[in-house]
Chains A and B, each alone.
Chain A
Amino acid sequence: MTVNTADLAARLAKAVADRTAIDQLSGEFGELDLATGYAVQRELRTAAGPLVGWKLGLTSRAKQAQVGVSDPIYGFLAGANALDLGAPLDTGNLIQPRCEPEIVFMLGRDLAGPHVTAADVIAASAGVAVGIEVIDSRYRDYRFTMADVVADNTSAGRFVVGAPVPPAGIDLRLVGVVLERNGEVVATASGAASLGHPAAAVAWLVRRLAADGEGLHAGEIVFSGGLTAAAPVTAGDVVVASIDRLGTVELGCR
Chain B
Amino acid sequence: MAVTDAPAKARALYEARRTRIPIPPFTDAEPDLDMADGYAIQAELVPLLLADGDRIIGHKVGLTSKAMQQLIGVDSPDYGPVLASTVYRDGDTVPLDRFIQPKIEAEIVFVLGERLAGPGVTVTQARAAIAGAVAGMEIVDSRIADWRIKLADTVADLASNGAMATSSQIVALDGTDPRLIGMTLTRNGELIDTGAGAAALGDPVAVVAWLANVLGEHGVALEPGHLIMTGALHAAVPMTFGDVFRAEFDRLGPVTIRVGGSA
Contact = CB atoms under 8 A, between A and B. Distances in A.
Size band of the interface chain A makes with B:
20 to 34
Nearest to B198: A178
A176 B184 contact: no
B177 interface: yes
A43 interface: no
A175 B193 CA distance: 14
Nearest to B192: A61
B233 interface: yes
Contact of A244 (B66, B181, B194): B181
A185 B194 contact: no
Interface centre among A177, A192, A193 (most CB of B within 10 A): A192
Interface string B186-209: 000001011111110010000000
A196 interface: yes
Given A174-B182, A196-B191, A188 B198 contact: yes
B195 A189 contact: yes
A227 B184 CA distance: 12
A191 interface: yes
B250 interface: yes
Contacts of B197: 176, 188
A190 B177 contact: no
A173 interface: yes
A181 to B, nearest CB: 12
Contact of A189 (B66, B177, B194, B248): B194
A31 interface: no
B183 interface: yes
Interface of B: 66, 177, 179-184, 191, 193-199, 202, 233, 248-250
5 contacts: A185-B199, A185-B202, A188-B195, A189-B196, A190-B250
